[in-house]
Amino acid sequence: MDLNKHIAATIITIGDELLIGQTIDTNSAWIASSLNKIGITIKRRVAVGDEWDAIWQSLEDEGKLAQIILITGGLGPTSDDITKSLLCKFFGGKLVTNQGALDNVVDIFTKKLKRPLLERNVKQAEVPDNCIIIQNKRGTAPGMWFEKNNVIYVSMPGVPHEMKGMMDDYVIPELIKKFNVHPVQHRTLLTAGIGESFLAEKLTDFEANLPANIKLAYLPNYGMVRLRLTDLQSASDLSRIDEYFQLLKLKVQDFMVIDDDVSMQEVIARKLLETGRSIAVAESCTGGHISQLFTQMAGSSQYFLGSVVSYSNEMKQDALKVPEQIIQEYGAVSSQTVEAMAEGVRKLSNADLGLATSGIMGPAGGTDAKPVGFVWVGFSSKEKTASTSFQFRFDRKRNIELTAISALDFLRKNMG
Amino acid sequence: MDLNKHIAATIITIGDELLIGQTIDTNSAWIASSLNKIGITIKRRVAVGDEWDAIWQSLEDEGKLAQIILITGGLGPTSDDITKSLLCKFFGGKLVTNQGALDNVVDIFTKKLKRPLLERNVKQAEVPDNCIIIQNKRGTAPGMWFEKNNVIYVSMPGVPHEMKGMMDDYVIPELIKKFNVHPVQHRTLLTAGIGESFLAEKLTDFEANLPANIKLAYLPNYGMVRLRLTDLQSASDLSRIDEYFQLLKLKVQDFMVIDDDVSMQEVIARKLLETGRSIAVAESCTGGHISQLFTQMAGSSQYFLGSVVSYSNEMKQDALKVPEQIIQEYGAVSSQTVEAMAEGVRKLSNADLGLATSGIMGPAGGTDAKPVGFVWVGFSSKEKTASTSFQFRFDRKRNIELTAISALDFLRKNMG
């Protein structure tokens, strides 16, 4: 069974910034995930610069490979943005001012930005006369929907929230209508504390016995591995995907965090909300990363009371009330210190649970006894205090991310 | 002048996870940036799944477009990783065990991971007999360097720090030798507080008068716009790039943060280090994001003392000593509260400077007087207290990011 027997799409992203390494392309992953959910598979993705021949060639090439071509970028108001005039020529139309798009541009400049409207912004309201225009509720550049030789080409701005708005409001609903698609069925579970190789070893027989239409994917990320079963036939009632998912859960039960496609912080947020408890965090080496994982979630103020990022020892002592003698006797990176930090932040914030981190993230600061990547994680509740240590061996950024996830997993295991 | 007259490379990234939206491809941007610095331009980037025909086709296609093909991913130990056997066949070799790679795998499992060595891990030490092996100092899968019809193909693991290690240690130095390349010359400056359209308007004449070999790029990101001049001829001494860069700086002087390719937080870190001052942050709505921007930088403990993420009013009162009556009279999102927060965290941590944020990030919590996206930012030093407000109009994640950058810019302007 081959993914490509389904309705296939490709993504073209346009912009020099993608080829000089200035911008990380987050749009493609979001688009892929959205299309996947409605049963459309992405065959490949191509990124090209703001260059006439390269864009033209990619439109021709991808048009041979897929029924849907989603294009982002190159629609800005500056002179390096050539995508719109190229599309106009490619599909043999001519540029005309669209009243709805013009009203939108005028509205944004006069009411929201309160800035004078420039000629180059007015030009953003021009669209080829042979496309369906997709109005942009979040910015000035409209989207465009073309059809040629039974292939659909949709051009959208590269600004992520503008593109996402157009996809959700217009493109996805239109594609569902047009292709009468059924969502592909996925079942996902999250594991922690076991590597990809060892999971694969445990699952050799399971994988070998899967029917041809059900596929298992290993999706490792920050010390966790997500396992995803996909039924490529999308056959609804007749699918045996749930049966295999039950089997999979049994096989990995010792390492399973949750049988759902959610993040570690969402697992914890759910548990906190269900039990009406609150949390506060004392972060030394993670420097605010754990707080950010919580506060990025809408509604986190219901259970997340706050944190102290105690980079200096004074902050540990003054804000968290860690006794000076503990730091002097055992050091800032120690079981005793993280336990005192977790307790300190819990009491300071009047939270039910406290979590703390302290370690050496690198590149400097390591010693023989406590090398770079060595961390302590502490937990505190009214009933219980606990701590554990980890040794990571990566660069600063990755050590911080792994510490944060490992701390959250330690919290999950201890919070009951 | 066309970028493609230079030595051209393309990037192929392999993995189903890239096509189902599970993984955001950060490798490509890093590779592009690294090659750009040594004067090799990326012509395009392609992402394909773990699928034989699609990978094969991409090797053939890209080989016609460029002299260098950099490939990442698909080298893991699980059964969906088919890249190595495909490359072996594509280049007509056979797999043989490489002793260096085997020693490395054994070393990692027995000494570092302290786990049993599995047959599938031993297989990772097999490489085609017609490639140059690139040993992996950071993981188990070796890299491979092939040459065919004067095109170089380099296959590397998809794990970012493993790929980066191979690039820095081997691939980049070899490419410099092989092609005798000169770095392309770039001059970059950072602006804040002005949109892309308005910058473009100011720079219309400047752009029109640039010589053919010098190109100006607008690189907007989080409310800032980076301007980059590139001399495509890399002609060293004869380049007029500095002359044009001086002119560019004059044109945008009112909005320029720094005439260098660094982030806002690096600009502030430099100023703090130069003047021997320290900072602490009180974050309400940014929830740890500003702290993380500081602490991601190695050596930040020299000037960053810590922060209080005061999500609850109790944290504002108990940890930051914001008087209860201020919060009651003016609200948590007010000039008075952020100024008290900035002062409170400065005194708590004994820092020279304090910075604070409080606002409504959405999606819920907005009112008519204080809608979603409305924020106050406060600054405190021994000599001065100041605050300002912003109104953003995006989603939660982007509102947080924009608030953080705007707060840092407010700090930069007030710190002297």
Contact A311 B304 (CB under 8 A): yes
pLDDT at res. A7: 86
- Choose among A77, A115, A299: nearest Cβ to B200: A77
Q: What is the pLDDT of residues B63-121, one digit of tens each?
A: 999 999 999 998 987 777 899 999 999 999 999 999 999 999 998 888 777 778 888 88
pLDDT grade, residue A348 (50/70/90)? very high
pLDDT at res. A306: 97
Q: Inform me whether the pLDDT recorded for B207 exceeds 70.
A: yes
pLDDT at res. B180: 82
- Choose among B312, B364, B397: nearest Cβ to A349: B312
- Mean predicted confidence (pLDDT) in A19-38: 87
Contact A21 B31 (CB under 8 A): yes
Contact A393 B112 (CB under 8 A): yes
Report the chain B residue with the minimal C-alpha distance to residue A122. Answer: B197
Task: Say what the ipTM of the complex is.
Answer: 0.81
State the smallest CA–CA distance between residue A148 and chain B in angstroms. Answer: 23
- Choose among B20, B121, B201: nearest Cβ to A118: B201
- Mean predicted confidence (pLDDT) in A218-245: 81
CB A386 within 8 A of CB A376: no
Task: Kindly report which listed range (A87-91, A128-132, A224-228) carries the lowest average pLDDT score.
Answer: A224-228
Q: How many CB atoms lie within 10 A of CB B182?
A: 13
Q: Inform me whether the pLDDT recorded for B373 exceeds 80.
A: yes
- Choose among A80, A197, A286: nearest Cβ to B121: A197
pLDDT at res. A237: 60
SS3 string, chain B, reads: CCHHHCCEEEEEEECHHHHCCCCCECHHHHHHHHHHHCCCEEEEEEEECCCHHHHHHHHHHHHHHCCEEEEECCCCCCCCCCHHHHHHHHCCCCEEECHHHHHHHHHHHHHHHCCCCCHHHHHHHEEECCCEEECCCCCCCCEEEEEECCEEEEEECCCHHHHHHHHHHHHHHHHHHHHCCCCCEEEEEEEECCCHHHHHHHCHHHHHCCCCCEEEEEEEECCEEEEEEEECCCCHHHCCHHHHHHHHHHHCCCCEEECCCCCHHHHHHHHHHHHCCCEEEEECCCCCHHHHHHHCCCCHHHCEEEEEEECCHHHHHHCCCCCHHHHHHHCCCCHHHHHHHHHHHHHHHCCCEEEEEEECCCCCCCCCCCCCCEEEEEEEECCCEEEEEEECCCCHHHHHHHHHHHHHHHHHHHCC
Q: What is the pLDDT of residues A298-319, one digit of tens each?
A: 999 999 999 999 999 999 999 9
Q: What is the pLDDT of residues A54-67, one digit of tens each?
A: 999 999 999 999 99
Q: What is the pLDDT of residues A171-221, one digit of tens each?
A: 999 999 998 877 678 899 999 988 888 898 899 999 999 998 898 888 777
- Choose among B49, B286, B395: nearest Cβ to A3: B49
Contact B24 A22 (CB under 8 A): no
Percent of chain B topping pLDDT 70 = 97
pLDDT at res. B3: 38
pLDDT grade, residue A236 (50/70/90)? low
Contact A396 B298 (CB under 8 A): yes
Q: Name the one residue in this structure whose structure tokens are 């004078």.
A: A116
pLDDT at res. B237: 60
Counted residue by residue, chain B has a size of 416
Cα–Cα dist B86/B50, whole Å: 11
How high does pLDDT run on average in chain B?
91
* Contacts A374 to B, Cβ<8 Å: none
pLDDT at res. B334: 97
- Choose among A28, A44, A393: nearest Cβ to B48: A44
pLDDT grade, residue B4 (50/70/90)? very low
State the smallest CA–CA distance between residue A30 and chain B in angstroms. Answer: 6
* Contacts A160 to B, Cβ<8 Å: 398
Report the chain A residue with the minimal C-alpha distance to residue B40. Answer: A20
pLDDT at res. B1: 33
pLDDT at res. A212: 87
Q: Inform me whether the pLDDT recorded for A232 exceeds 90.
A: no
pLDDT at res. A1: 32
* Contacts A161 to B, Cβ<8 Å: 394-395, 398
Report the chain A residue with the minimal C-alpha distance to residue B288. Answer: A288
Residues 6+ apart with CB under 8 A from B285: B333, B357, B358, B359, B360, B361, B375, B399, B400, B403
Q: Inform me whether the pLDDT recorded for A258 exceeds 90.
A: yes
Q: Inform me whether the pLDDT recorded for B283 exceeds 70.
A: yes
How high does pLDDT run on average in chain A?
91
pLDDT at res. B234: 59
State the smallest CA–CA distance between residue A323 and chain B in angstroms. Answer: 16
Q: What is the pLDDT of residues B144-173, one digit of tens each?
A: 999 999 999 999 999 888 999 999 999 999
How far from B265 is each of B276, B303, B339, B371, CA to CA, in Å?
Answer: 16, 12, 21, 28
pLDDT grade, residue A4 (50/70/90)? very low
- Mean predicted confidence (pLDDT) in A95-120: 87
Q: What is the pLDDT of residues B333-366, one digit of tens each?
A: 999 999 999 999 999 999 999 999 999 998 888 9
Q: Inform me whether the pLDDT recorded for A398 exceeds 60.
A: yes
State the smallest CA–CA distance between residue A303 and chain B in angstroms. Answer: 10
Question: What domains are there in chain B, each with its CATH number?
Answer: 3-179 (3.40.980.10), 185-258 (3.30.70.2860), 264-414 (3.90.950.20)
